[in-house]
Amino acid sequence: MAFPARSRHAVLSGDDKRDGAGLAYRLHKTIVLVGMMGAGKTAIGGALARRLGVDFRDSDHEIERAANMTVPEIFARDGEPFFREKEARVIARLLQAEPSILSTGGGAFLAEANRTAIARHGAALWLRADLDLLWSRLRQKTTRPLLHTANPRATLAELVTRREPVYALAQLSVASAPGLSIDEMTSRVVDLLLTRPDLLTEEPA
């Protein structure tokens, strides 16, 4: 999914606290959202890109578009290793574009080659969410093939335990919490990014 950037210098929108200050955001590096499935990488990524006025890409959507198949269909027909190969290629390609927001699938950051590419060309931001919150968002969904098991909650718990030490390698992280809206969560991410002038600054519009 790609939303065209309105401008490289996004003038702050009406819902922004800094509206009226005549400032615009300037993103200096691609922010790569990582973390567990259900953490909100796709939802927050899109909202963040709109807020900052930059392009949004989601590696799962890019893979689905190129294959003309859904992620579960790709897993079922071609297997996970095939999907991981496509994922690595898509991420490497999207990291070459101008600074934007890139949401990855939950397994992408597990591959060392992806972590290296992300660190070289962008900045990884881990969206943290605990097991209960993840499960509350995923329990009704059939779109995550890794959870097509006899006990999907237990599978999710195992994945969280195994993956969290790797997600913790991301240079930035923001915690999600139940009851927080997508807009509020996006504001938390923007506030964090503004503490890093090498990543995001505000400039006169």
Ligand X SMILES: O=C(O)C1=C[C@@H](OP(=O)(O)O)[C@@H](O)[C@H](O)C1
Ligand Y SMILES: Nc1ncnc2c1ncn2[C@@H]1O[C@H](COP(=O)(O)OP(=O)(O)O)[C@@H](O)[C@H]1O
Q: Residues comprising the binding site for Mg(2+)?
A: 42
- Binding to ligand Y (CB under 6 A) within 65-124 occurs at 103
CA separation, residue 77 to residues 8, 25, 186, 187 (Å): 40, 43, 36, 39
Candidates 30, 42, 59, 114; binder of Mg ion (CB under 5 A) is: 42
Best CA proximity match to 36, nearest among 119, 172, 146, 183: 146
Candidates 23, 24, 34, 39; binder of ligand Y (CB under 6 A) is: 39
CB of 12 to ligand Y, least distance (A): 21
Candidates 144, 156, 174, 199; binder of ligand X (CB under 6 A) is: 144
CB of 17 to ligand X, least distance (A): 29
Answer whether 48's CB lies under 8 Å from 90's CB: no
Q: Give dist(CA 194, CA 152) in Å, integer.
A: 38
CA atoms within 13 A on the CB side of 91: 33
185 binds, among Mg ion, ligand Y, ligand X, none (CB under 5 to 8 A by kind): ligand Y
Residue with tokens 């790609």: 2
Q: Is 187 in the site for ligand Y (CB under 6 A)?
A: no
Q: Kindly tell me which of 27 and 34 has the beta carbon lying closer to ligand X.
A: 34
Residues that bind Mg ion (CB under 5 A): 41-42
